Amino acid sequence: MLEFVELAAYGRPAGLAPAAGIRLLKDLDGPIDGRDVIVVEDVVDTGLTLNYLVKTLSLRRPASLAVATLLDRPYRRLVDDLPVRYVGFTVPDELFVGYGFDLDERFRNLPDLHVYRPEAA
**Alpha-carbon span 113 to 100, nearest angstrom:** 9
Say how far residue 43 (Cα) sits from the centre of its chain. Answer: 5
Look up 36 and say whether it is catalytic.
no
Q: Please provide residue 15's backbone torsions phi and psi, each rounded to the nearest 5 degrees.
A: 80, 0
Q: How buried is 28 (Cβ within 10 angstroms: 0-12 exposed, 13-18 middle, 19+ buried)?
A: middle
SS (H, E, C) 61-103: CCCEEEEEEEEECHHHCCCCCCCEEEEEEECCCCCEEECCECE
Q: Which of 45, 72, 81, 112 is catalytic?
A: 45
> Among all residues, which ones are annotated catalytic?
45
